[in-house]
């Protein structure tokens, strides 16, 4: 089964990176402990397993990260477009040259998966939130970056300045209020969706 772990570890295996930061760990056994990195740090305000920093991502970047930089940063915190966007912008400031940001929940399968945070808290279930809107915004703003989504595990957005086998063009500015129907009909182009096999070939 291909998961976020497979996508992140492919980067470590290819480039021999050593430092990793995970925003939104929750249960470290599901991903964090499986990442093939020498130095790993995790951030989560309400984890169910131990983390390095039991604080919000905003608190971490404001008060704890200091001058640290990382080779790979995985963003999987609060699944709202506002917070996931802030998490990526803060992550960019602490990303090593030619490093990678991986952003979870970028390709929700149904409209149900993007319901409000309050609705998710009331009823539970799978929830991707509107992270996809944050990714699309970033793809319009980061003109010199490669931004694409691997179509596995609810969509893992990859953001890097590194030269790859294929270069991905930024999006033209689009309306901030993206409807579900518009996204659903145009997701392949909006996200630059790749299969895992296509992703794997970027590193050959």
> In residues, how long is the chain?
204
pLDDT tens profile 44-93: 999 999 999 999 999 999 999 999 999 999 999 999 999 999 999 999 99
pLDDT tens profile 103-138: 999 999 999 999 999 999 999 999 999 999 999 999
- Measured between alpha carbons, how far is 155 from 141 in angstroms, rounded to an integer? 20
* Assigned token pair, 123: 């009823």
Residue 175 clears pLDDT 90, i.e. is over it: no
Q: What is the pTM of this model?
A: 0.98
pLDDT tens profile 18-32: 999 999 999 999 999
* pLDDT computed for residue 183 by the predictor: 96
pLDDT tens profile 35-48: 999 999 999 999 99
Mean pLDDT (whole number) for 156-178:
90
* pLDDT computed for residue 176 by the predictor: 65
- Measured between alpha carbons, how far is 15 from 62 in angstroms, rounded to an integer? 29
* pLDDT computed for residue 101 by the predictor: 99
Task: Please list, in sequence order, all residues whose beta carbon lies within 8 angstroms of the beta carbon of residue 99, skipping any fewer than 6 positions away.
Answer: 17, 69, 70, 71, 72, 73, 160, 162
Mean pLDDT score of the chain, rounded to an integer?
Answer: 96
- List domains and CATH numbers for the chain: 4-201 (3.40.50.150)
Dihedral sign of CA atoms 141, 115, 119, 159 in order: negative
Percent of the chain beyond pLDDT 90? 95
- Measured between alpha carbons, how far is 41 from 167 in angstroms, rounded to an integer? 30
């Amino acid at each position: 089964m291909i998961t976020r772990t497979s996508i992140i570890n492919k980067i470590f295996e290819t480039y021999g990176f050593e430092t990793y930061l995970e925003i939104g760990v929750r249960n470290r056994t599901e991903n964090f402990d499986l990442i093939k990195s020498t130095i790993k740090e995790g951030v989560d305000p309400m984890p169910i397993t131990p983390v390095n920093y039991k604080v919000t991502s905003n608190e971490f970047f404001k008060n704890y990260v200091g001058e640290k930089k990382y080779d790979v940063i995985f963003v999987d915190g609060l699944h709202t477009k506002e917070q996931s966007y802030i998490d990526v912008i803060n992550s960019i400031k602490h990303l090593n040259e030619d490093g990678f940001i991986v952003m979870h929940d970028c390709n929700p399968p149904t409209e149900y998966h993007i319901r409000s945070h309050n609705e998710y808290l009331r009823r539970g279930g799978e929830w991707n939130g509107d992270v996809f809107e944050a990714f699309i915004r970033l793809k319009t703003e980061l003109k010199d970056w490669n931004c694409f989504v691997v179509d596995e595990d609810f969509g893992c957005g990859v953001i890097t300045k590194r030269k790859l086998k294929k270069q991905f063009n930024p999006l033209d500015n689009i309306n901030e209020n993206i409807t579900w129907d518009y996204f659903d009909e145009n997701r392949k182009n909006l996200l630059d969706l790749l299969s895992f096999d296509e992703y794997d070939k970027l590193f050959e």
